[in-house]
Structure 1
Amino acid sequence: MSLYDGELTGVYPEENEDHHAVQMAESDYEDDDSDQPTCKETEDTTAMDVKKGKDIQGISWETMNTTRDRHRQARLQQYANFENIPNSGRTAEKDCTPAKKGQLYYEFQHNTRSVKSTILHFQLRNLVWATTRHDVYLMSYYSVLHWSALTREKQEIIDLQGHVAPCEKHHGNFSEGFSRTQVSALAVKNNLLVTGGFHGEIICKFLDRQGISYCCKSTHDDNGITNSLEIYEKPSGSLHFLASNNDCGVRDFDMEKFQICNNFRFAWPVNHTSLSPDGKLAVMVGDSPDGLLVDANSGKAVHDLRGHLDFSFASSWNPDGRTFATGNQDKTCRVNSLHIRWEVHGDGRTCGFHPHLRCREWIQQETGSGFLW
Structure 2
Amino acid sequence: MASNNACVVMEYEMDGFQLVNNFRFPWTVNHTSLSPDGKLIAVVGDHRDALLVDSTSGLTVGTVKGHRDYSFASAWYSDGRIFATGSQDKTCRVWDVRSLAKPVTVLKGNMAAVRSLRFSTDGQFLAVAEAADFVNVYNTSLNYERRLEIDLFGEIAGVSFSPDDETLFIGVSDQNYPSLLQFNKRHKYGYLDSFV
Match of 2:71 in 1: 226
Q: SS at 1:267's partner residue?
A: coil
Higher fraction of strand: 2
Q: Equivalent residue of 1:311, what SS?
A: strand
Please give the per-residue CA displacement for 1:297-328, whole angstroms capped at 9, x wherever unaligned.
5333432224x321323100011111110112
In structure 1, the residue matched to 2:29 is: 183
Q: 1:207 to 1:266 in 2, by over 3 A?
A: same
Q: How does 1:173-252 map to 2 (within 5 A)?
A: 180-189=26-35, 190=37, 191-208=39-56, 211-219=59-67, 221=68, 224-234=69-79, 239-252=81-94
Q: Quick check: 1:143–1:156 contact (8 Å CA) kept in 2? A: no
Q: How far has the Cα of 1:339 moved from its partner? A: 2.1
Structure 1 residues not aligned, in runs of 5+: 1-136, 161-179, 342-347, 350-373
Check 1:217–1:321 CA distance in 2 against 1; reply closer, same or farther (3 A cut). Answer: same
Greater gyration radius: 1
Amino acid at match of 1:183: V
Q: Equivalences for 1:189-338 in 2 at 5 Å?
A: 189=35, 190=37, 191-208=39-56, 211-219=59-67, 221=68, 224-234=69-79, 239-259=81-101, 260-268=103-111, 269-296=113-140, 297-306=142-151, 308-330=152-174, 331-338=178-185
How far residue 258 of structure 1 moved from its aligned partner, in angstroms, is 3.1
- AA aligned to 1:293 is V
TM-score of the two chains, using structure 2 as the length reference? 0.79
CA distance in 1, matches of 2:135, 2:17: 40
The alpha-carbon deviation at position 292 of structure 1 amounts to: 1.9
Query: Are 2:14 and 1:139 equivalent residues in the alignment?
Result: no
| Structure 2 gap segments, 5+ residues each | 189-194
Q: Partners of 1:289 and 1:152 in 2: how far apart?
A: 36
> If each structure's helix is expressed as a fraction of its own residues, which one has the higher value?
1
| 2: CA distance, partners of 1:208 / 1:156 | 8
Whole-Å separation in 1 of the counterparts to 2:87 and 2:58: 28
> Greater relative contact order: 1 or 2 (C-alpha under 8 angstroms, separation 6 or more)?
1
Q: After superposition, give the CA deviation of every residue in 1:233-256 in whole Å (9 maximum; x if it has no partner).
A: 34xxx5121001111111111112
SS of the counterpart of 1:213?
strand
- The aligned length equals 183
Calculate the TM-score normalised by the size of structure 1. 0.44
Q: CA deviation at 1:139?
A: 2.5
